[in-house]
Structure 1
């Protein structure tokens, strides 16, 4: 079965993050991608310039249009922008009994530009997190969700997992990419216990859209694999996409990862 996977996110006209990265990732991993736009973002590899959030009613109408017609096997939620959109997404996904929901709590772009209104944090925490099969916060996002200092180590990550699980998702994938060191460690907590995923840190500036790519990869793989295996395969895909990212020449800032590294011939 070819899985149908829905991404709900904002746009990136430079193609490395947001809904464009989600579609590329899902396609590269053999899933058919549907999409719902929450916000139109003016950004490139150098940063976010501005964004326009769509109305909650129109976001809801897009979700209804897809889910009333297409069997959706998994959902990835990215940029939400504001509390109204968070509520609309929660309402419609609950109404349609969506499953295999992967929530990437996008709050700040790599450039530091805020992508979520402050008042929307509680809506994401209270409305969307409890619907999720897994949430995939990085360390700054986890600090916001838990209202704690953004001061982390691997032991601090482990200590924070119970509080993150208490927010209501089935699993938590706490990403340690912001830590220093030769290795990057992510921790997956869930009914199976806690599992660490370690990978050598790749030195590259082509890391635009890594969070979007990882969460989309998990969503594409969940219809066919249990959570720990979906996360392991998604991590392996992202690691290879990062390792091959320098084959691309896109932009003057943080370039994209190579989503189609396994499909495009190495000679171009």
Structure 2
């Protein structure tokens, strides 16, 4: 039989043993979009719907070896970068992204949780700033945008100003996510690519099962870029996918459950 032609995406991120976020969410998202998913693990987490109990970070050489193995054999049409955990891994990944001929990079700067807890130390934050120019699209949440832009973010105009400031740090485009905003701004994102300043609003879904939304959005954007979408189109379609998946959360675990990446297969 003739092999099926398919686009390929690479995710560089951590593993979530509970299956709701990280590499697991990325690969499921790629599959939904009929994109072949490849991966480079940066860390192994012991976690479930209730939280994280342990994190084991891989050596940077192990991370870059995975990237090189994929890139030496396959065309990589897009890259999603998620949890990098430490300064040495960030620097190693930045070097490989600069040296290899890969597709556009969607960078989810996993620095601060949606609740506002800083996830990496200050030296890793500074290293991540140096990685920003490698990004075709940067997708910070409210707290990450605050850290990168150096300003409080309370209003829509704050989100717009933060997007402008972060764009000056080097990424080709910035999507400041409003999932952590309050009131009418929850679910409203701001896009800026140096020319177009867009407000992207979708009716928020009321559910406590939001685990993996940030990972899923950046992976969906990368999948759409791999399929040939323009950056803004990829973002719009990625938001639609995440919103639909939020409407079909999975009944697993006893905490903050995952969204339904394969919602079209739901018998309901």
> Which TM-score band applies after superposition, normalised by the shorter structure?
over 0.9
TM-score, reference length from structure 1: 0.93
Aligned 8 A contact 2:114 2:180 in 1:
no
TM-score, reference length from structure 2: 0.93
Q: Of the candidates 94, 97, 100, which is equivalent to residue 101 of structure 2?
A: 97
Aligned 8 A contact 2:17 2:46 in 1:
yes
Alpha-carbon displacement from aligned partner over 1:180-202 (angstroms, at most 9, x marks no partner): 12452101111441111101111
2:46 is paired with a residue whose SS is strand
The corresponding residue for 1:185 is 188
Aligned 8 A contact 1:79 1:116 in 2:
no
Q: CA deviation at 1:98?
A: 2.1
The corresponding residue for 2:169 is 167
Q: Does 1:84 align with 2:88?
A: yes
2:187 is paired with a residue whose SS is strand
Unmatched segments (≥5 aa) in structure 1: none
CA–CA distance in structure 2, aligned partners of residues 159 and 6 of structure 1: 31
2:12 is paired with a residue whose SS is strand
The corresponding residue for 2:199 is 196
CA–CA distance in structure 2, aligned partners of residues 25 and 43 of structure 1: 20
Q: CA deviation at 1:227?
A: 0.8
Alpha-carbon displacement from aligned partner over 1:165-223 (angstroms, at most 9, x marks no partner): 00100000000111112452101111441111101111101100100000000000013
Q: Of the candidates 61, 64, 68, which is equivalent to residue 65 of structure 2?
A: 61
Q: CA deviation at 1:36?
A: 0.3
Aligned 8 A contact 2:114 2:142 in 1:
no
Seen in structure 2, the aligned counterparts of structure 1 residues 225 and 241 have a Cα distance that, compared at 3 Å, is same
The corresponding residue for 2:229 is 225
Aligned 8 A contact 1:8 1:77 in 2:
yes
Aligned residue pairs total 262
CA–CA distance in structure 2, aligned partners of residues 54 and 145 of structure 1: 26
Q: CA deviation at 1:50?
A: 2.2
1:80 is paired with a residue whose SS is coil
2:122 is paired with a residue whose SS is coil
The corresponding residue for 1:266 is 267
Seen in structure 2, the aligned counterparts of structure 1 residues 179 and 58 have a Cα distance that, compared at 3 Å, is same
The corresponding residue for 1:208 is 211
Identify the range of structure 1 (30-39 vs 187-196) with the bigger mean alpha-carbon deviation. Answer: 187-196
Post-superposition, which runs of at least 4 consecutive aligned residues in structure 1 deviate over 6 A?
none
Unmatched segments (≥5 aa) in structure 2: none
Q: Of the candidates 240, 253, 256, which is equivalent to residue 254 of structure 1?
A: 256
Question: Superposition RMSD on alpha carbons, in Å?
Answer: 1.5
Q: CA deviation at 1:109?
A: 4.1
Alpha-carbon displacement from aligned partner over 1:63-82 (angstroms, at most 9, x marks no partner): 11111111100000000001
Q: CA deviation at 1:253?
A: 1.0
Aligned 8 A contact 1:79 1:115 in 2:
no
The corresponding residue for 2:122 is 118
Aligned 8 A contact 2:146 2:162 in 1:
no
Q: CA deviation at 1:107?
A: 1.6
Alignment of 1:3-82 (within 5 A): 3-82=7-86
